[in-house]
């Protein structure tokens, strides 16, 4: 049976509201974090979102979900401040670098990851990498694909990974592959160049991979 949780989701782009609506729809208490709530409310794309907004510094929750872009992840989380201490922080972001156009490269890779960088900067948070390997359409509705597919989780705290896994199950994920500690985020983030190439060839974002084992 699902246990309702208080979730604070950082970011008002495509991913944050999609996750917010999905988690709210299955019974979780959701608030969306943004730099300026009043400014966000004026955006045309926010009309009808029907999700509460709060400034980053006013957020408090049992679980935080970072749905900002990679470059904005650390400033947003730092703005939340001490409310992150001891909390599970699910990081969905990717270190995409569009400075040389498309396709993007990664501004962190190989021997480090954005997730590890965030964990070092926020040592009291219990950071977990999840949801960064799919488009938001698939994140929130894995059953919308013709076949079952795989989502990955990585983090240094096993209990935090389990919390993230349970939240994924609430959205319908049945194949959650636990990769262990946060160094696994390097591979998860480096999957993005392949995802971009697949997207270019398939022509739509609602696809995913399955680990057959």
CATH of the domain at 183: 3.40.50.720
The fraction of the chain above a pLDDT of 70, given in percent, is 99
Q: Reply yes or no on whether the pLDDT at 128 is more than 70.
A: yes
Q: What pLDDT, on the 0 to 100 scale, is given for residue 42?
A: 86
Mean pLDDT of all residues in 155-180: 98
Q: What distance separates the 2 farthest-apart alpha carbons in the chain?
A: 49
Q: What is the pLDDT of residue 43?
A: 85
Q: Is residue 134 part of a domain?
A: yes
Cα-based distances in Å from 143 to 138, 146, 147: 8, 7, 8
pTM here is: 0.96
C-alpha span between 207 and 93 (Å, rounded) = 18
Does residue 212 form part of some domain?
no
- pLDDT band at residue 46 under the 50/70/90 scheme: confident
Work out the percent of the chain whose per-residue pLDDT is above 90.
Answer: 91
pLDDT of residue 2: 73
pLDDT band at 45 (very low <50, low <70, confident <90, very high): confident
Q: Are strands 126-130 and 151-155 parallel, antiparallel or unpaired?
A: antiparallel
Q: Return the DSSP state at 163.
A: H
| Inside any domain, residue 107 | yes
Is 139 part of a structural domain of the chain? yes
pLDDT band at 1 (very low <50, low <70, confident <90, very high): low
125 in a domain, yes or no?
A: yes
Q: Which domain holds residue 179?
A: 6-202
pLDDT at position 82 is 97
CA–CA separation, 116 and 118 (whole Å)? 5
Residue pLDDT, tens place only, 63-97: 999 999 999 999 999 999 999 999 999 999 999 99
pLDDT at 75: 97
Number of domains in the chain: 1
Tell me which of 150 and 49 has the higher pLDDT.
150
Q: Specify the pLDDT at position 146.
A: 96
Residue 135 located in a structural domain: yes
Q: Are 134 and 95 in contact (CB under 8 A)?
A: no
For the chain, report the end-to-end CA distance as a whole number of angstroms: 28
In-domain check, residue 60: yes
pLDDT at 44: 78
pLDDT over 70 (residue 166): yes
58 found inside a domain: yes
Mean pLDDT across the chain, nearest whole number?
95
């Amino acid at each position: 049976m699902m246990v309702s949780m208080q979730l604070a989701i950082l970011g008002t782009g495509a991913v944050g509201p999609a996750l917010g609506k999905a988690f709210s729809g299955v019974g979780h208490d959701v608030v969306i974090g943004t730099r300026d709530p009043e400014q966000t409310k004026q955006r045309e794309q926010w009309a009808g979102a029907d999700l509460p907004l709060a400034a980053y510094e006013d957020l408090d929750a049992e679980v935080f979900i970072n749905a900002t872009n990679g470059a904005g992840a650390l400033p947003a989380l730092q703005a939340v401040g001490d409310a992150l201490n001891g909390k599970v922080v699910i990081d969905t972001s990717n270190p995409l670098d569009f400075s040389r156009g498309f396709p993007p490269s990664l501004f962190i890779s190989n021997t480090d990851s954005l997730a590890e960088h965030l964990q070092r900067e926020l040592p009291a948070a219990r950071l977990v990498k999840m949801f960064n390997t799919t488009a938001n359409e698939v994140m929130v509705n894995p059953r919308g694909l013709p076949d079952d597919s795989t989502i990955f989780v990585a983090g240094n705290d096993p209990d935090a990974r389990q919390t993230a896994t349970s939240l994924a199950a609430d959205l319908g994920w049945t194949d959650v592959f636990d990769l262990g500690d946060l160094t696994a985020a390097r591979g998860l983030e480096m999957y993005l160049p392949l995802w971009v190439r697949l997207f270019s060839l398939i022509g739509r974002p609602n696809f995913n991979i399955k680990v057959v084992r």
